[in-house]
């Protein structure tokens, strides 16, 4: 029983894996937060390391039998610093967070007290849920339940981060922490400007570079390490590793010599239990790959591909938020066409193109977003280059034109029916699709 293969023990799960495998291989993956990790990373992730408990840190564990786990975690920490070109005398890293959300909450726990104030980019403007998101009706996330949050925004004309207004808000709100980094912001960040504001108001500056960490490691974008006190990231987006999180912290701050202890204790025991050692092994392998010259070429190509996608969609006459991109993602504003992001997401699903609906600047509700977010990380991992991306842009153009024709010919109802019928067949459920 212990040594029989999955297909024999559980053909039902094996079958689902096979179907998902086929979906990933046969379709076009354009979700900006996803990527295709390497076989080596998956081998490490599926290894016997999953069996081991190792609460604590290398050399100070709550369980016996951790000599190899210590070696592994130390290796992973060393590789994390090397991948981002960080001096171990100035920076440390905790490699235990289970995901980006837990990394963020642990970092917040390390830096600020319950009810302290924080400012992050608003969700409709591209920020992430964990950066203090709440709605008029509800505090939606732990970051707004346990802390007082005030979002900053992008400008209504350029759709770039509104640094002057952020500084003015911070002067009144007096946050203990400013969070930068985003889930849907196609431009680079001015960390020097953010540092000025944080310093002036006595706030920590934390960057969540989850989306762009692979591009930062390849030195294709500004480095948050030059200005931020703490940097968090997921490891599965542009970094192309397994699903996990990392927290980098400064070791050279005169006023916070204890930052290392605070971060480590915030991860365990404050927010997590035993580390997932199979994942830490997979992160270590991914970071080894990130430090190789081929990864730099990959990151360059991700950006070239995103720029090509933006240029091709613009040539078709579509509106893009900020008019283009500096990184791996493109935000496509569908509102001038009278289409919602959810409709195009469904139509694309039927075409084997995976994208996600996304709020664009000025959307009244994040629940009915007027745009879609596209990313080139996964297609670039499949060795696609600019000429391939032009074909992808043409396919997206066809998806939109098809939706427009259906909508024009028979009104919104026909498009709704088209999506509902097709999705019903797929899901075997009546009225599954909500468009
Ligand atoms: N931070 C940012 C900027 C993200 O975009 C995401 C996820 O998309 C997260 C954090 C959360 O990561 P996870 O899903 O691993 O918890």
How confident is the model over 149-193, as pLDDT tens digits?
999 999 999 999 999 999 999 999 999 999 999 999 999 999 999
Integer angstrom CA distances of residue 323 from 90, 215, 331, 433: 38, 20, 9, 31
Compute the distance from residue 162 Cα to the ligand 1 centre, in Å: 22
| Per-residue model confidence (pLDDT) at position 321 | 97
Is the predicted pLDDT of residue 405 greater than 90, yes or no? no
To the query of whether residue 234 is one of the catalytic residues in this protein, the response is yes
Catalytic annotation, pick one of 55, 116, 190, 388: 55
The angle subtended at Cα 244 by Cα 241 and Cα 246, nearest 5°, is: 100
* ipTM topping 0.90: yes
Catalytic annotation, pick one of 29, 125, 201, 208: 208
Return the residue whose CA atom lies nearest to atom 9 of ligand 1. 100
| Per-residue model confidence (pLDDT) at position 357 | 94
Of 52-56, 58-62, 359-363, the range with the lowest mean pLDDT is 359-363
Residue 234 CB–ligand 1 contact under 6 Å: yes
Compute the distance from residue 180 Cα to the ligand 1 centre, in Å: 13
The angle subtended at Cα 263 by Cα 75 and Cα 166, nearest 5°, is: 120
pLDDT grade, residue 257 (50/70/90)?
confident
Residue 279 CB–ligand 1 contact under 6 Å: no
| Residues paired with residue 118 on neighbouring β-strands, in sequence order | 149, 177
Query: Which element (helix H / strand E) includes 289?
Result: helix 277-290
pLDDT grade, residue 427 (50/70/90)?
very low
Phi/psi for 389 (5° steps) reads -65, -30
pLDDT grade, residue 434 (50/70/90)?
very low
Compute the distance from residue 151 Cα to the ligand 1 centre, in Å: 17
**Mean pLDDT over residues 33-54, rounded?**
98
Q: Which residues, at least 6 apart from 281, have a Cβ–Cβ distance to it below 8 Å?
A: 44, 45, 47, 49, 72, 76
Phi/psi for 161 (5° steps) reads -55, 130
Catalytic annotation, pick one of 130, 234, 279, 380: 234
Peptide bond into 51 cis (omega under 30): no
To the query of whether residue 82 is one of the catalytic residues in this protein, the response is no
Query: Which element (helix H / strand E) includes 424?
Result: helix 386-427
To the query of whether residue 176 is one of the catalytic residues in this protein, the response is no
| Per-residue model confidence (pLDDT) at position 431 | 39
Residue 358 CB–ligand 1 contact under 6 Å: no
Give the chain's mean pLDDT: 93
Q: Which residues, at least 6 apart from 214, have a Cβ–Cβ distance to it below 8 Å?
A: 237, 238, 239, 240, 290, 295, 298, 299, 302, 377
Q: Which residues, at least 6 apart from 97, have a Cβ–Cβ distance to it below 8 Å?
A: 103, 106, 232, 244, 245, 246, 247, 267, 272
| Per-residue model confidence (pLDDT) at position 420 | 60
Return the residue whose CA atom lies nearest to atom 13 of ligand 1. 100
The answer to whether the CB of 289 falls within 8 A of the CB of 38 is yes
pLDDT grade, residue 435 (50/70/90)?
very low
| Per-residue model confidence (pLDDT) at position 430 | 41
**Mean pLDDT over residues 277-293, rounded?**
98
Residue 99 CB–ligand 1 contact under 6 Å: yes
Compute the distance from residue 244 Cα to the ligand 1 centre, in Å: 10
pLDDT grade, residue 419 (50/70/90)?
low
**Within 10 Å of residue 368's Cβ, how many Cβ atoms?**
13
To the query of whether residue 53 is one of the catalytic residues in this protein, the response is yes
Q: What is the 3-state secondary structure (H, E, C) of 88-137?
A: CCCEEEECCCCCHHHHHHHHHHHHCCCCCEEECECHHHCCCHHHCCECCC
The rounded distance, in Å, linking the Cα atoms of 108 and 92 is: 17
Instruction: Give the tens place of pLDDT for each residue, 329-372.
Output: 999 999 999 999 988 998 999 899 999 999 998 887 767 899 99
Query: Which element (helix H / strand E) includes 331?
Result: strand 329-333
To the query of whether residue 52 is one of the catalytic residues in this protein, the response is no
The rounded distance, in Å, linking the Cα atoms of 249 and 74 is: 16
pTM: 0.94
Q: Which of 183, 242, 283, 375 to mutate to test the pocket of ligand 1 (most atoms within 8 A of CB)?
A: 183
Q: Which residues, at least 6 apart from 224, have a Cβ–Cβ distance to it below 8 Å?
A: 180, 181, 189, 191, 207, 209, 216, 231
Which ligand 1 atom sits closest to the C-alpha of 102? 16
Residue 183 CB–ligand 1 contact under 6 Å: yes
Q: Which residues, at least 6 apart from 296, have a Cβ–Cβ distance to it below 8 Å?
A: 218, 219, 220
Compute the distance from residue 231 Cα to the ligand 1 centre, in Å: 13
Compute the distance from residue 356 Cα to the ligand 1 centre, in Å: 15
Is the predicted pLDDT of residue 432 greater than 90, yes or no? no
**Mean pLDDT over residues 203-211, rounded?**
98
Residue 181 CB–ligand 1 contact under 6 Å: yes
Beta strands in 164-203 (DSSP E): 177-180
| Per-residue model confidence (pLDDT) at position 402 | 87
Residue 130 CB–ligand 1 contact under 6 Å: yes
Which ligand 1 atom sits closest to the C-alpha of 182? 3
Strand-pair category, 148-149 with 204-208: unpaired
Which ligand 1 atom sits closest to the C-alpha of 243? 15
What torsion do the CA atoms of 374, 375, 381, 386 make, to the nearest 10 degrees?
80
């Amino acid at each position: 029983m212990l040594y029989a293969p999955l297909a024999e023990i559980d053909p039902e799960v094996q079958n689902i894996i096979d179907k998902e495998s086929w979906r990933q291989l046969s379709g076009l993956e354009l979700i900006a937060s996803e990527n295709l990790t390497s076989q080596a990373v998956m081998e490490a992730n599926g290894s016997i390391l999953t069996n081991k408990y190792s609460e604590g840190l290398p050399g100070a564990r709550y369980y016996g039998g951790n000599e190899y786990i210590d070696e592994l975690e130390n290796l992973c920490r060393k590789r994390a610093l090397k991948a981002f070109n960080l001096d171990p005398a100035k920076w440390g890293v905790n490699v235990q967070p289970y995901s980006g959300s837990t990394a963020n909450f642990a970092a917040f726990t390390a830096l600020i007290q319950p009810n302290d104030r924080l400012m992050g980019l608003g969700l409709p403007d591209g920020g992430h849920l964990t950066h203090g998101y709440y709605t008029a009706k509800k505090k939606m996330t732990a970051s707004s339940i346990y802390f007082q949050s005030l979002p900053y925004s992008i400008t209504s004309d350029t759709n770039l981060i509104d640094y002057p207004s952020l500084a003015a808000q911070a002067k009144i709100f007096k946050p203990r922490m400013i969070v930068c980094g985003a889930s849907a912001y196609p431009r680079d960040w001015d960390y020097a400007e953010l540092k000025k504001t944080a310093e002036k108001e006595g706030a920590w500056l934390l960057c969540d570079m989850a989306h762009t960490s692979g591009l930062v490691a390849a030195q294709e974008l500004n480095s948050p390490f030059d200005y931020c006190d703490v940097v968090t990231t997921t490891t599965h987006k542009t970094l192309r590793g397994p699903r996990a999180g990392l927290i980098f912290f400064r070791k050279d701050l005169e006023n916070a010599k204890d930052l290392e202890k605070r971060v480590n204790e915030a991860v365990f025991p404050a927010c997590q239990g035993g580390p997932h050692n199979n994942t830490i092994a997979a992160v270590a392998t991914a970071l080894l790959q990130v430090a190789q010259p081929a990864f730099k070429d990959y990151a360059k190509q991700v950006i070239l591909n995103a720029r090509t996608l933006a240029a091709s969609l613009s040539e078709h006459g579509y509106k893009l938020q900020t008019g283009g991109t500096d990184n791996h993602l493109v935000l496509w504003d569908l509102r001038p066409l009278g289409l919602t992001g959810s409709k195009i997401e469904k139509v694309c699903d039927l075409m084997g193109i995976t994208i996600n609906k996304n709020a664009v600047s000025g959307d009244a509700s994040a629940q009915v977003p007027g745009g879609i977010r596209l990313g080139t990380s996964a297609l670039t991992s499949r060795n696609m280059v600019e000429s391939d991306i032009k074909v992808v842009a043409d396919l997206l153009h066809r998806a939109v034109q098809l939706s427009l024709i259906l909508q024009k010919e028979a009104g919104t109802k026909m498009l709704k029916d088209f999506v509902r019928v097709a999705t019903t067949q797929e899901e075997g459920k009546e009225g599954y699709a909500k468009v």
